Structure formats: structure tokens, C-alpha cells
Structure 1
Amino acid sequence: MSAQLEETDITGKEVRGPLIHRQSAWTRVTHWVWAICLFFLLLSGLQIFNAHPALYIGQESGFEYDNAVLRMQAFNTPDGPRGRTTLFGQTFDTTGLFGMSGPEARPQFQGFPGWATIPSFRDLATGRVVHFFFAWLFVATLFVWFLASFLNGHLRRDIVPRGEDWQALPGDVAAHARFRFRHGRSYNPLQKLAYATIFFVLFPLIILTGLTMSPGMDAAWPWLLDVFGGRQTARTIHFIVMVLLVLFFIIHVVMVVAAGPINEMRSMITGWYRAEPGTPGQEGDRP
């Protein structure tokens, strides 16, 4: 990282890149609110999933059906109970993680283990209260972010990929694969594509599929059921998007560490970012 943010001039003196104000207060605040919301949404969502740990495509569902695309259950065997996960007809022994978890003396027979849910014990009512609270906080924060980002130009400047971004994307992917990062004023093409996918595809999908699972919203907006092919399909899409967001979070953290955690964290806490030498703008410049 230091080799990219510092270079040596002809006299042998180290020259540091300019410190620029890269992230607005709106971006920083909403970023951390989303992080908190998604944490509670994930763990409370797994609590809700455990009430019926199976996913279906279409309208029909239930314990008496054998049409699940994903099912986590516990089964009695000659050697005792075991946890099993069935995915698209393929069954895996997932004892200790999915279907059956916890200590051998007091096993938990549920989809996801208690340490991964809020609350850590079976309490669907509390899980739903927590989930709905942070879901609406998430939606409100997303609305604020879209409004502020539209007005201050962040959406157009840093999120929506342009023609030159698409042209530079293959080279940027190759640079990321070699852990070579550009520390500039704006986001690189891969960042823009990733953030645009999150904001314009995954976030709307997880919100709309969540609304589709609500009988009240189905009565008000019956077209949601037609768009997503039924409540059970919406539940499956909701789960898949959750998995994709978790994967994005993991990759996001890895990239932050690889690109320089101090510089990246300072940017999202204070707004100030150390760019590469030669980046347009002087020390303390505010775009």
C-alpha cells in the first residue's frame, strides 16, 4: 500500500499523495447504519427461517410436500439423530451446523444454529419484531442515501458506470486479482459495478421480495405475487439475495484489508482519504 501512496522524487525525498475529502457525511452515516441493519436483519432473518427451514419455488409448500429446493432437518438414524441438508435433491450430512447443532448432551434440532440467530433461542415473535424494525430503518436509510446522492452528484459520479468504466473493467479485474489497487479520487470500474449491482439490483430485490411475503402488502399490491411467481418463490429469492449480500460483505472486507485498512477506514469514518501521488488536487482539497 505504502508503495502506491508514496513515491520518491529526484532528490530521494519521499512524496506522499494528497489527502482528499472523498466521502460525504451522508455516505458515511448511511454506510454504517446499513452495516448495523444488515447484521440484525441477517440474524433475525435466520430465526424466522428456522420456523420452517425449507425453500420452495411456486405457491405450494409445507412439511407434507416433497418439492423443496432447500431443506434443513434432523433425522433419526441407527447411530442417533443427524442433521441433514437437502439442496436440489442432493442430501448432505451437516450435523453440527445445519439441521442439528449444539452440544451433544443438548442438541438443537433446527435449521441454523442458535449462535447465528437473534434471539439465540427459538422465539419467532421476537425475531419478527427485530427483523421488521431494522427492515424499515434500512428502507428509510436507503431513501435518504438515494436523495442525498442524487443531489450531491455522488450517484452519477461514483456509482453509475460510464462508457470508459466498461472499457477499463477487464484491466481493473486483472489488477484486483493481483491485489494491485488504485487509490484515486473516484471509485474504480469494479467498485462502481459492484456498488451499482448492490444499490440497483440486490437492495430493491430484497426489499420487494420481503414485501411480497407480507399478506397485508399482497392485498395492497397484488401485482407483487405475479412479479415474483408467488410468495414461496419470493421467499426463496429473498434467501438467495441474502446469501449474495453476505458474500459481498466478505469480499468487501477482504478488499478493504488488502487495499489498506487504515486509509479505507479513515475514509468511511472521517471522509479523508490518502490518494496516490499525482492525484489531481492539493492537500486538504475538498471536491
Structure 2
Amino acid sequence: MPWYIFALVAAGAIGVKTVLQKSELKKEHSLDYVVAMSLIAMIISMFLWPWVNWATVTWLLIGYIYLASVLGSVSIWLGAKALRHLDISLVAPQEVLATVFALGFAYLFLRDTLTGIQWLGVIVLLLGGFMLTRDSFVSTHSFGWLNFSAGDKTSQSKKWAFYEILLLGSMVALSLASIIDKVVLNSTDAITFIFLVSIFLFVNHFIIYTVVVGNVRQIPDRVENLGWLLVFIAILTTISRLAYAEALSLAELSLVIPLKKSSILIATIWGGKLFKEKHVWFRTVMAVLMLVGVWLVVR
């Protein structure tokens, strides 16, 4: 099957999953949700056991996968916190900023250089990100320049700014994890990678929960309202991870990313309308603009 089919399947699964995730995060705390979802995703991945290629698994490979899982765990947690408190039509388009961070890390660690077209793509991405987040940050500026909102909204804007920073942190961790993922998938197959990383993600989230919250026995009571929808989200998560990993193993990262990132259109349009958010069409236009930026960066 062609790589782009896997990339489109990943995009569709991620888009639908993001909308359902936003719905669930309205009812539960982000860390409770993340631990429960990681547990179910790990259980689902256990069914991949018969197809795991143990011959490719080395201690070095396990080390790389665990490093990717640590970054992925942080990214998932911070992203869930941002999604819980911010509009989905605001969060989804900004997820493509991970492309900019990936370019920066490729320059630092791999000594990759940017062409003029890629610089244009970076500018387009940053412009789109700025246009989306301007209302979150400008109201908190010490001089109040370009203040779009009234004074009584300043505290709310500070809250938005905090979760915007968490979202950016999530994108930084995700971009680093993506680079490691590509290295890992040069040495093993997608099923083996997803099987192992799903286990590590749950272990990491369990450790985070133990450190941050403390009492892990309260998890079942705190997520009892999630029900079967959480299982469906975990299934979509596993499908998206498998499809993305398979696409990445068949094609270059620069080809896979633009198709995968098209998931932001599903989340922005459907999620924005479903949750009756404001400025959905403006944010959709910005999402399209940022997808153009991604295409310019990776073309």
C-alpha cells in the first residue's frame, strides 16, 4: 500500500481523536485522562505481540525508543492541558509549529541548512501562529500595546498565555521525538516500535501521575465518567500511531508531515463548530495558511 494512504489514515484518525479528546477533557483533568488513555492504548497494543519482530530489538534500540517515549509523554501531557483550557480551533492549527522546531533541531544536531523557500515557509508558519495567538499575549504586555481586549479580561489573557506556552513546550518535545522516531524506524518496523513505545508511554505517564498527584488508587474513580468513548479514543490513537509509523518507514519525513498535519483542518472546522467556538472561519484560514507554510518547509 502507498505511503500516502497511511499518512492520510493517520491524519483522519488524529483529527477525529482530537475532537473527541476535547470533549472528554471538558469532564476530566488532563493527567487523569492521559494516564487512563495510555493504559488502554497499551492494552490494545498487546494484540500486536504476534507480529513483533524481536530480532531487530537491541538494547540500543530500546534506549532510543524510551528516549522518544519520554519526549512523547511530556508532549502528550502538556498538549492535553492546553487542549483542555484553550479552544480546539486555536490549538489544532498551532500544532504545525512543531515543523519549525524540527527544522531548528535538524540544524543544530544534523547541520542541515535552509533554502530560501524553506525560510519563506518558516515565516508563513510564524505569521500564522502569531495571528492565532495575538489575543492571548498582547493583553498581558507591560505597555498594553495593541490591546484587543478590556482590562477585566487581562487575567483571562494571562491564563491563555500560560497554556499557549505549555502548547509550545508540547510542540518542542514532539519535534524532538519525531526525529528520534525516524532514526528508530530505520532499524525496526512500525509494529515493533508501536508495541514498545505504547508500554513506555504508559509507564512514563504513571510515573508522572505518581509524582504530581501521588495517590494512583484514585484514578478509576476520577475517570469513571469517560466510559467506552475513552476506549474508542485509544483505538484511534493506536491506529494513528501505526499508520504514521508505517508511512514514516516507507517515505521521507518531509513527505509524510504535510499529509499528517492535514488533520488540523478536521479538528479546527468540526471541533470549532461542535463546541460553538468564536472566529472558527478565521482560524480555519490560518490553518490553511500554516499548512502552506509546512509544504514550503518540507517540499
Give TM-score scaled by structure 1 length.
Answer: 0.28
More helix by share: 2
More strand by share: 1
Structure number with greater CO (CA < 8 Å, separation at least 6) is 2
Give TM-score scaled by structure 2 length.
Answer: 0.27
